[in-house]
Amino acid sequence: MLNWWEKNFATCELGDERLNNRAYSIGQALSQGFGKALSEIFTSANELKRAYEFLPTAKQNLTK
């Protein structure tokens, strides 16, 4: 049986193999560290930064 992250990320097609690989590795790390803070899952500063850059975030317009 496939792991959760394989089911959800193995067939992703983001138009670039590097992005596909990043999604796959982030999904794997998130599934292994389920329930932990991102800073606990991604221990190096570079990994954490890449995960934050990759994951969707809500954009807010703060100008009035």
Per-residue confidence (pLDDT) for residue 28, from 0 to 100: 85
Asked if 22 and 45 count as a contact pair (C-beta separation under 8 A), the reply is no
Asked if 9 and 23 count as a contact pair (C-beta separation under 8 A), the reply is yes
> What residues in the chain have per-residue pLDDT under 50?
1
Name the pTM for this structure: 0.70
DSSP type of residue 15: S
